[in-house]
């Protein structure tokens, strides 16, 4: 009986201890909740005589609403709230202001066809490009507003035509708006090179010392930020001379984007129609971002869904061929019968081919590079023929090889990718990429902008071009790439880039609606992978 009493006492004290701990945690949680800053509000009623003259609402030191005459037709209360709340944030931007919410209480007083100005101070001291965004609840994303930056005064000015909005200032990491401009001599005129803004964009460049400016069109890429980290832009010398003497070499400047050339509504990595959310917004049927060494998945959409992979097939065909240890400078004859295999799956005019005649001689190396750089289908079949393997055995080897690598959903029925029955998944192809890019020839061929060679005997020159436009941007150090397209497959793209410490990320997108969409969404996923690696 005594043992039972002791046991009951022990249980009693345990219950007390647990109860005390729970209450302590509850009080601690309450303390945290109580110390969190509350929202700060500002209210002002504007009567009709006031709005007829125009009025600037100074809700807080950081934010002003400039309501010129004609913006409001009736009296209304105006509310501005500094929000101390947790809101979803754009994955690729840095916030440099508080969150604010403003509202015209009498919605009928405002004509939303007439925009008004917001002036927004920010605390950020970096030289990154800044822009005002509003949160669009319907798409759950932040959307950009037309914005002009005044870096000397640390404020931006934006146009908006909404009676209610949640707004904030965000900066674009590594997109410089303040720094130095250098000059170069090439095509005379008001032109410039930029590492941030695409060709066709128009930029106003201000000399910070003398106040002069020049409007230029971006027509090239540069300068290299890895060599010149403070260089905002590289001006053609005639444009540079309008704001500073050429002998100075460089000038302290800031820029004002007048027009940013967009592709499919993408500006500086932000979809202006859909906005930017907490993760990338990808319309491609499937995609994956994978760390190469660890196979860690950083981001995925339908990554295990089996889809046609089009010309991404060719990298596996190249690997099987190279495994036969060919003599690359061996000269072989082309046979028109090789391309007949292509026409089993597409019409003759639909197949990307290298223009060759029956019996023309060329090196195996030329066939290989034409297949990978130019994605020629007929030359792949020639490689199969000269490989020493029967065609069925060659294709069987392609299938067994990817199975060995762990790409279990991948299947090939021919070596070019013309057959929609050639299928894989985004994840499978990332695994395949990891293996095929171990071969230096495949790596070299996959990132070449173009390949030139001559036909043995005739001396006729040939040239094939890489269809991956991302390679030409010079923005990323791409170490592996392959495009693909079929009507059934849509646009497919694999790209690999280094992210430091011997690690790479592999990005695969499949089933994009357009080529530009494929490039833009792959670029967005590469940026996401760099940040989240």
Domains and CATH numbers, the chain: 40-173 (2.60.220.30), 177-267 (2.40.40.10), 286-532 (3.40.710.10)
What pLDDT is attached to residue 12? 43
pLDDT confidence of residue 13? 43
* Predicted local distance difference test score (pLDDT) of residue 474: 64
Q: Which residue has the higher pLDDT, 159 or 472?
A: 159
Q: Give strand ranges (E) for 24-67.
A: 40-46, 55-60, 63-67
Mean pLDDT throughout 225-240? 94
Range 22-48 average pLDDT = 65
For residue 298, count other CB atoms closer than 10 A to its CB.
Answer: 18
Pairing outcome for strands 76-83 and 99-104: antiparallel
Question: What is the predicted pLDDT for the residue at 9?
Answer: 45
Q: Alpha-carbon distance 77 to 341, whole Å?
A: 74
pLDDT the model gives residue 457: 75
22-26, 88-92, 319-323, 365-369: the lowest-pLDDT one: 22-26
> Is the model's pLDDT at 485 over the cut of 60?
yes
Cα(110)–Cα(103) distance, rounded to whole angstroms? 11
| pLDDT over threshold 70, residue 32 | no
The DSSP secondary-structure symbol of 456 reads B
pLDDT for 22: 42
147 pLDDT exceeds 90?
Answer: yes
Question: In b/e form, how buried is each residue of 136-156, taking b as 16+ CB within 10 angstroms?
Answer: beeeebbbbbebbbebeeebb
Q: How far apart are CA 407 and CA 433, in angstroms?
A: 10
> Which residues are bridge partners to 15 per DSSP?
none
Kindly indicate the confidence band of residue 447, based on its pLDDT and cuts at 50, 70 and 90: very high
Confidence of residue 267 (pLDDT cuts 50, 70, 90): confident
pLDDT confidence tier of residue 146, bands split at 50, 70 and 90:
very high
Is 253 in contact with 181 (CB distance < 8 Å)?
yes
Q: Is pLDDT at 374 greater than 80 in this prediction?
A: yes
Residues in the chain: 533
Cα dihedral sign, 230-146-133-198: negative
CA distance 242 to 258: 18
Of 110-114, 395-399, 516-520, give the lowest mean pLDDT range: 110-114
What percentage of the chain has pLDDT greater than the value 70? 93
Handedness of CA 342, 345, 346, 347 (dihedral sign): positive
Apex CA 516: angle with CA 514 and CA 519, to 5°? 115
Could you tell me the pTM of the whole model? 0.81
State the chain's mean pLDDT as an integer.
90
For residue 36, the model assigns a pLDDT of 62
The C-alpha atoms of residue 286 and residue 293 are separated, in whole angstroms, by 22
Tell me whether residue 294 is exposed, middle or buried, using C-beta atoms within 10 angstroms of its C-beta: 0 to 12, 13 to 18, 19 or more: exposed
Give the pLDDT mean for 95-105.
Answer: 95
């Amino acid at each position: 009986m005594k043992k039972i009493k002791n046991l009951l006492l022990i249980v009693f004290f345990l219950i007390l201890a647990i109860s005390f701990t729970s209450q302590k945690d509850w009080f601690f949680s309450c303390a945290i909740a109580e110390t969190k800053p509350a929202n700060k509000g500002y209210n002002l009623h504007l009567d009709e005589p006031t709005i007829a003259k125009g009025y600037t609402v100074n809700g807080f030191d950081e934010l002003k609403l400039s309501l010129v005459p004609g913006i409001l037709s009736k009296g209304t209360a105006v509310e501005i709230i500094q929000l101390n709340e947790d809101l979803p944030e754009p994955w690729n931007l840095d916030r440099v202001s508080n969150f604010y919410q403003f509202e015209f209480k009498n919605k009928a007083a405002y004509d939303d066809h007439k925009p008004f100005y917001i002036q927004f101070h920010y605390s950020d001291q970096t030289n990154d490009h800044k822009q005002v965004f509003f949160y669009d609840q319907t798409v759950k994303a932040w959307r950009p507003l037309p914005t002009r930056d005044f870096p000397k005064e640390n404020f931006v000015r934006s146009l908006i035509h909404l009676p209610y909005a949640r707004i904030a200032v965000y900066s674009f990491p590594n997109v410089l708006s303040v720094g130095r401009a250098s000059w170069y001599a090439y095509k005379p005129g008001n032109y410039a090179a930029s590492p941030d803004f695409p060709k066709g964009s128009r930029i106003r460049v201000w000399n910070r010392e003398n106040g002069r400016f020049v409007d230029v069109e971006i027509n090239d890429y540069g300068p290299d930020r890895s060599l010149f980290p403070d260089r905002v832009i590289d001006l053609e010398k005639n444009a540079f001379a309008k704001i500073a003497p050429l002998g100075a070499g460089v000038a302290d400047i800031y820029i004002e984007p007048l027009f940013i050339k967009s592709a499919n509504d993408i500006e500086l990595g932000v979809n202006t129609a859909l906005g930017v959310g907490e993760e990338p917004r990808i319309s491609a049927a499937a995609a994956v971002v994978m760390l190469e060494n660890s196979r860690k998945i950083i981001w995925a959409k339908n990554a295990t869904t089996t889809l046609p992979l089009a010309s991404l097939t060719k990298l596996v065909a190249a690997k099987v061929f190279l495994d036969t240890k060919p003599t690359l400078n061996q000269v072989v004859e082309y046979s028109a019968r090789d391309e007949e295999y292509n026409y089993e799956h597409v019409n003759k005019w639909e197949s990307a081919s290298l223009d060759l005649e029956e019996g023309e001689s060329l090196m195996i190396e030329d066939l290989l590079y034409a297949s990978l750089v130019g994605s020629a289908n007929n030359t792949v079949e020639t490689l199969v023929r000269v490989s020493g393997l029967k065609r069925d055995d060659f294709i069987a080897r392609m299938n067994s090889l990817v199975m060995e690598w762990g790409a279990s959903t991948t299947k090939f029925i021919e070596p070019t990718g013309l057959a929609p029955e050639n299928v894989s998944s985004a994840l499978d192809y990332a695994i395949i990429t990891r293996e095929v890019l171990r071969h230096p020839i495949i790596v070299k061929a996959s990132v070449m902008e173009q390949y030139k060679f001559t036909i043995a005997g005739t001396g006729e020159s040939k040239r094939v071009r890489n269809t991956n436009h991302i390679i030409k941007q010079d923005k990323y150090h791409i170490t592996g790439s392959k495009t693909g397209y079929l009507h059934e497959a849509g646009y497919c793209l694999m790209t690999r880039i280094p992210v430091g410490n011997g690690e790479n990320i592999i990005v695969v997108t499949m089933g994009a609606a357009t080529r530009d969409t494929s490039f833009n969404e792959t670029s967005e996923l590469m940026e996401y992978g760099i940040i989240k690696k």
